[in-house]
Chains A and B, each alone.
Chain A
Amino acid sequence: MTFEQFAVARLPSLLRYAVVLTGDRDLAQDVVQEVLARAQVRWRRISDADSPEAYVRRMVLNEYLSWRRSWAARNVHAVGERLVDLDDARGGVGDHAQDVVEADELWHRLATLGRKQRAVLVLRYYEQLEDEAIADLIGCSPATVRSHASRALKTLRLTSERHTMIHAEETS
C-alpha cells in the first residue's frame, strides 16, 4: 500500500480520532499533519508493519501526549465561557434535545482534563480498548490507567457539581 492509498482510505478516520483526542479541531489538524508528514518520509518502514494504521494511530497519540507545549490550561478559559452559554441555552430546549445538550456539555468539560486523563477516556470509551492495551500504548501500568480514568471521571463529576452550584446561585 502506498502512502497515498493509505491517506485516501484512512485520513478521515485519523482526523476523527485526533478531534476526539484533542477536543480541538485546529490542534487535531496540526497533530495529524505533523504525524503524517513524518510517516510519509518513513513510509517504506511503516508500511511493513503488521498494521500501518495502528502504527500511525499510535503516532497520533504520542504526538498529542508530547505536544511541545501545554495547551489545556489555556483551553479551560474558553471552555468555561462556553459552559455558561450552554447553560443559558438549556432553558429553551425541549426534553428530546436534552441528550444532545448533555453530550455538548460533557464534551466541553472533557477539555478541562489533563492530556493523559483525556487520552485514557478516549482509548477506553471511543477506541474501546482494554486497560492493558491502553497501558501499553501510554507506557504505564494498567493500575496507572485505572488511576487516570478514575481521577478523570471524578473531575468531570466535580466540575458538573460545581458548575450546577454556581449556576443555581446566580439564578437564585
Chain B
Amino acid sequence: MSEIRVENLSKAYASGRLALTSASFKYEGSGAIGYLGPNGAGKTTTLKLLTGLLRPSAGASYLNGVNVIQDRKHALEDVGCVIESPEPYPSQTVEEAIEMVSDFRGGPYRSLAHDIADLNVKLELPPLKSKTGRLSKGQRQRVVIAASLIRDPRVLILDEPTSGLDPKERILIRNLLNDLKKDHLILMSSHLMQEVTDICDQVIFINQGQILLRDTVENVATRFQARAVDVEFATPIVLDRIRAIGPLVQDAVVIGERRYRLTFDGSNSSRAEILTGLVKLGPVLSYQSASLVLEDAYLALMGGEPAPVAGAPAPGLHLPPPPA
C-alpha cells in the first residue's frame, strides 16, 4: 500500500536555524494532501527530507515503508517527485529527459513510446525533439511533471507543481492531479488556496517549522466555518436595507451588480436567521458560504486577519474550537 510517513522529523542548519521541528504525519492509500504555509515555513524542507535531498537532524521519513536515509534507492522506487525547480540537462531533448528517468526507474522498454505518447496527450508536452534548455518555464515544468509520472509511480511528491504555469496549464495539471489522486497518494505543497481546495482531500498547515494543523479539507472548513456568506438577488437591493436586517449582520459589501457579501459570527443559527431576513428584501437567487474557507483558516493559523472566531486563542498557536 502507498505510504508517506514522517516521524518526529527535525532539521537544523549549521547556522542553528530550525527549519523543521519534530514534524510527524502519516498517510496511506490514495488521495491528495495539501501542504500549506508561507514562504520559509518549512514546506520545501519537509519535502527535501522526504526525498533524501536533505539529511534530518532528528527523526526519520519513510516512503512506502522504506526509510529514506537508510535505503534511498528503494524508498524512491515507486515515487515521482517535483521539488523546487528541476531542470533536465539543457542539451537533452524532451524525449531523452523522460527516457532517462524511465531508464532509472525501470520497466518494459517497448511500452516507453506508448507511455510518453500518453503523457504527451495528458500534458500537452512541447515537441519531443526540442531541447529542454530552449523551453519556456511553463513548458519545462510540464516536462518535469511528465518525467515524474513516467512508469506510473504510486506516490507523488510535488512542490508547488503549478508554479510558473499559465491559467490554462494550471487547469490541465489540476485536472490531471484530480484524476491521479483516485489511485495515487499525492503530497503537494502550494501557495494557492483555490488549487488546494480543488485538488486536495486533506491539508497540513505549517509555519515556522511547526505543523499547526492536520485535517481533512471538510473538517477544516467546518472548524473555520465561513464567517461570510455571498447572496445574489434577482434585482439590486440598497445596501442599507441589508445592513438593517439586524445585529447579526456585522457588515455587508457589494461584490457584484446584484451580489453582496455579508459577515456574521459564523454560527448556523445566525446564518439561517440572516437568510430569513434576506428573503424578505427580495427574491434570492443564491445564498452560499464565501468560498474562502481555506484562506480564512490559513490567515488565522499564520497570524493574519481575520481571526477564526471571536474570543479564540492567539492565532498561529492554537486551533479555534469547532463552532457550536
| Chain A bound to chain B | no
Could you tell me which A residues sit within 8 Å of B by CB distance? Answer: none
